[in-house]
Amino acid sequence: MALTMVVALLLGAGQPAAAQPATVATEAVTITSGKPRSVMVIGQVYAIHTVEATGGTAPYRLSVTSGSLPPGMLVVGTSLGGSPTTAGTYTFTLRMTDKNDLFDEQTATIEVREPKVVITSGKPRSPMYLGRVYAIHTVEATGGTGPYRLSVVSGSLPPGMLVVGTSLGGSPTTAGTYTFTLRMT
């Protein structure tokens, strides 16, 4: 009986099992970096935003799959960069794809604003005296993109005073109190 059992075991194991293909689990790609900075100003150089990911198999490639980047910005490798040229709100989807075409997506919105000009010089001197030449008061500003233009947008300058370029000067000819608003553009 012992011999019969051995034979039965050998006969059951006599056929080799069919080879099974090896299953390799591929880890999903996951974008791990934060979203790009959301507020930008026209003309400012956007510091490069590198999109980072884990999982999958390098090398990775970055693309925009829907929406659009602000004009003046582009994707290079796995980074965004450039200098936006048009104000507006831009919503887009970034896709990070690995060597095996596995991917992850991230939707982002960037608002591009007009540059803000800020007058940094003080107010013109007051009081002024009739007939005296008023030393030129140069109005200075930061922000935006030069050249700047100075204008009077409300009220009026004293007669005899005028705006030239970004300066205020002249010789007042009429006594009085004059209130005016200057705008640097």
Domain regions of the chain by residue span: 30-113, 118-184
Per-residue pLDDT tens digits of the chain, which is 185 residues long: 343 444 444 444 455 555 555 444 468 999 999 898 889 888 888 878 999 999 999 999 999 999 999 999 999 999 999 999 999 999 999 999 999 999 999 999 999 998 888 888 888 888 888 888 887 889 898 877 788 899 999 999 999 999 999 998 899 999 999 999 998 88
131 Cβ contact list (under 8 Å, min separation 6)? 171, 172, 173
> Looking at domain 30-113, which of 3.40.50.300, 1.10.3720.10, 3.90.199.10, 2.60.40.10 is its CATH number?
2.60.40.10
> pTM of the prediction?
0.58
Q: Which residue shows structure tokens 């039965």?
A: 8
73 Cβ contact list (under 8 Å, min separation 6)? 46, 80, 81, 82, 83, 84, 110
